[in-house]
Amino acid sequence: MNIDWTFRGEPIADEARQRVDDQLHKIARLLREPTDAHVVVGHEGPTHQRVDLEVVLTSPEGTFKGHGESHDLDELVRDVLHRIDAQVHKAHDKRLEARRHSGAPTPTAEGQ
């Protein structure tokens, strides 16, 4: 999985960046390869009073987007990645349901 980072203002702390990387890799396990992500982080105000985070995850199943603004970076990361996780789970479940109803034999039915 390829993750591209864009910073508007100063970069975020390495711990927050690593947490986003780890969570995106965990979410991407439900998707088919190739999977790419683009993360845009923006700070506004002289003391980074507001943080803007946008994550776009692209795979053969579709494009999944999450965006948010907050004063707390940890809360913002959790919220945006939760939105993307919900979208990915919905697409994954939809793909599995379509496979179940396609009429293809299940692995247990083939052996009988």
Would you give per-residue pLDDT tens digits along the chain (112 residues)?
Answer: 889 999 888 788 889 899 999 999 998 888 888 889 999 999 876 665 788 999 999 988 889 999 999 988 889 999 999 999 999 999 888 888 877 777 655 555 454 4
Q: Classify residue 58: in a domain, yes or no.
A: yes
Q: Classify residue 105: in a domain, yes or no.
A: no
Whether residue 80 contacts residue 55, with contact meaning beta carbons closer than 8 Å, is answered with: yes
Q: Rounded to the nearest 5°, which phi and psi values hold at 81?
A: -70, -30
Output the DSSP codes for 32-51: PSP-EEEEEEEEETTTT-EE
Domain that residue 50 falls in:
2-100
Q: Classify residue 109: in a domain, yes or no.
A: no
Q: Classify residue 33: in a domain, yes or no.
A: yes
Q: Classify residue 26: in a domain, yes or no.
A: yes
Q: Classify residue 112: in a domain, yes or no.
A: no
CATH code (residue 79): 3.30.160.100
Q: How many Cβ atoms sit within 10 Å of the Cβ of residue 67?
A: 15
Q: Classify residue 82: in a domain, yes or no.
A: yes
- Spatial separation of the C-alpha atoms in residues 54 and 66, rounded to whole Å: 6
pTM over 0.85? The answer is no
Domains of the chain: total: 1
